[in-house]
Structure 1
Amino acid sequence: MSNKPVLLIHGGAWAMPDEAVAAHESGIANALAAGYGLLEKGASAVDAVEAAVAVMEDDETFDAGRGSFLTQDGRVQMDALLMNGANLRTGGVACVERLRNPIRAARLVLDKSPHVYFVGTGAERFARQNGMALIDNTELVIPREQERLHKAQTAELAGLRDTTFSGPLSVPPNDPHASHDTVGAVALDAAGNIAAGTSTGGTLNKAPGRVGDSSLIGCGCYADNLSAAVSLTGWGEPIMKLVLGKWAVDRVAAGASPQIAAQAAIDYLFERLGGHGGIILLGPDGRVGLAHNTPRMAWGLQTEDGAQLGVTRNP
């Protein structure tokens, strides 16, 4: 039976300022076009998710790939996960510094390795052995993020709050004004299979070696044809503690609609741990859900009826 393809993506949930909205909408539109274009040609959900996420990794607007937040020592360190709901094959990489597109490295792990997860130089070595070029980390660093890191560290030392750049490192981890532009996508293909992917540069001024929720199975990303596909964005530590992605898809498997499950997950995140973030959910029947408790979340949806995109605002 042929299904009607669906692609749902997010580009971060945080207190996005007005001047950043247009760039986020443009980036989301480009990612939708890349991913859905493949679905229309009969490509797999995994192909579409990889393509959509890679476009956002290449866009300096988002906290993924080039333009990511910088670690305490001024480097980009990235995590990504890709999961196939048809067979639960999964590929993940974390703490990579020399790969332009971590989601493509995750795809290599999914396709070519008996393992699920590689980190650091081991992930980079595996990617290089399977055809990916290694780059210098400085190619991923942009002046905007160098300035943001400098202001955050200066403010932290001074014990001051930095409202221009969403707060210093001392900003509480669950503050919805802290910037989180993690990117992700979920897709349904014509064969009826679903997939999910998430990619991030992590949090501003993070300790080198810190890994958040984005690349952890069941936390920031999950896909199973028997339940749903999910990608999350937000402050990773509370999401990890709740294994929130798996929590949400299990609600869909138990009969909840993706929209009800998405809102319930965000409510649970806040009620249990005071966490903030956003979520996108896609069921194997094509129903979707999205929710966030941050001031704004960038998202996009494309089906045979056309594309919708926006930066939704909470009251």
Structure 2
Amino acid sequence: MAGWAIAVHGGAGVDPNLPQHRQEEAKRVIARCLDIGISALRSSLPAVDVVELVVRELESDPVFNSGRGSALTEKGTVEMEASIMDGEGRRCGAVSGLTTVKNPVSLARLVMDRSPHSYLAFSGAEDFARLHGVEVVDNDYFITEDNKGMLKLAKEANTIMFDYRIPTLVPDTCAASVENPLLMNGLPVSLYAPETVGCVVVDGQGRCAAATSTGGLMNKMCGRIGDSPLIGAGTYACGLCGVSCTGEGEAIIRGTLARDVAAVMEYKGLGLQAAVDFVVKERLDEGKAGMIAVSRNGEVACGFNTNGMFRGFATEGGFMEVGIW
């Protein structure tokens, strides 16, 4: 085996005017999560355990859009979703519409390990969580003052707001961005910078795993489900690789982006980075997204067609990198 490797992301699509202190804050969180994953891998923890551990840490930090710090729905509430996949046997679990579960990725893991199903949502998922003694909190736990302010701006602009965490935005800026809007399923949305989180790992035994978690879009319709919990779209792992996506969920769903990386590796014989590049270039149509990936050979890769992507990588060979642009 070529050794373990890990990649972490905090979302694709970054406003070029993101204040420097926020850039550094995001990079510190990514670096801390990489360190947690590296320590776990050095302790011979299986890949699927490592991705859950790292994504739990990301969900517990309000810097990114998952768990605490999740984007708000049109009603000012939080509805979270997550998925996890173990490449060994292609086992998977996913959840959507969570309002009280503190760590959605761990509930997705329970769905995979302790239910006959692959996907549970809304009240059924919440009931399953309580049945298994999962830690729950009031919905207010997930809501931050920053997000309350950005939801207000989104409502004033009458749009879904992607770039919901940039404090320098004002309503006039939002309105201006709608004059030349990005389109999602043919409908205009505002600035583009979702901050979904994800982790992919190949362990020392060559086992791949992936996990993704998000609060979705600021000012989204209640009940909206994105790509993050959809196996093959936002998350995928198999014997060849593990992939986690971030960006315009509707475009990622249409392109079945994560699965396509594995498919072109298997059917076209492409290497990991070539497969990621091909999928980002050829499968997004006019959508905007990014992804991180690892292969069973200990490789790491990323690709995005946005301004940037919060990301970090590390390998057993000593390579480590944290970046945005």
Aligned to 1:210, the other structure's residue is in SS state coil
CA contact (8 A) 1:261 1:289 kept: no
Which residue among 20, 23, 48 is the counterpart of 1:21? Answer: 23
Which residue is 1:245 aligned to?
A: 258
2:208 alignment partner in structure 1: 194
Alpha-carbon shift at residue 309 of structure 1 (Å): 3.1
Letter of the 1:288 counterpart: V
Supply the distance in 2 between the matched residues of 1:308 and 1:42 (Cα, whole angstroms).
19
The structure 1 residue matched to 2:103, chosen from 101, 104, 128, is 101
| Cα shift at 1:173 | 4.1
Return the alpha-carbon distance in structure 2 between the equivalents of residues 4 and 101 of structure 1.
29
Q: Structure 1 pair 292/132, CA: closer, same or farther in 2 (3 Å)?
A: same
Q: Which runs of 5+ in 2 are unaligned?
A: none
Q: Which residue of 1 aligns with 2:318?
A: 306
CA distance in structure 1 between the aligned counterparts of 2:23 and 2:61, rounded to whole angstroms: 14
What SS class does the counterpart of residue 81 from structure 2 fall into?
strand
2:199 aligns with: 185
Query: Relative to structure 1, is the Cα distance of residues 205 and 173 closer, same or farther in structure 2, using a 3 angstrom cutoff?
Result: farther
- Aligned residue runs from structure 1 range 263-278, under 5 A: 263-270=277-284, 272=285, 274-278=286-290
Aligned with residue 149 of structure 1, among 145, 148, 151: 151
Give the 3-state SS of the residue equivalent to 1:56 in structure 2.
helix
Correspondence for 2:229 among 207, 211, 215: 215
Change (3 A) 1:97 1:153: same
State the TM-score, normalizing by the size of structure 1: 0.91
Corresponding residue number in structure 1 for 2:242: 229
Cα distance between partner residues in 2 of 1:6 and 1:288: 7
Shift of 1:37: 1.2
**Number of residue pairs aligned between Structure 1 and Structure 2:** 306
Tell me the equivalent position of 2:304: 292
User: CA offset at residue 3 of structure 1?
Assistant: 5.2
Deviation at 1:230, TM superposition (A): 0.5
Structure 1 residues not aligned, in runs of 5+: none
- Amino acid of the structure 2 residue aligned with 1:44: P
Deviation string, structure 1 residues 214-239 (Cα, Å, up to 9, x no partner): 110100000001x3110000010011
Q: CA RMSD in A?
A: 2.1
Normalising by structure 2, we get a TM-score of 0.89
DSSP-derived class of the 2:82 partner: strand
Partner residue of 1:139?
A: 141
Is the CA contact 1:173–1:235 (under 8 Å) kept in the aligned structure 2? Answer: no
Instruction: After superposition, give the CA deviation of every residue in 1:265-309 in whole Å (9 maximum; x if it has no partner).
Output: 111244x2x000111111111122211111111111112233523
**8 Å contact kept, 2:243–2:291:** yes
In the alignment, the residues of structure 2 paired with residue 93 and residue 117 of structure 1 have an alpha-carbon distance, to the nearest angstrom, of 6
Separation (CA, whole Å) in 2 of partners of 1:258 and 1:167? 38
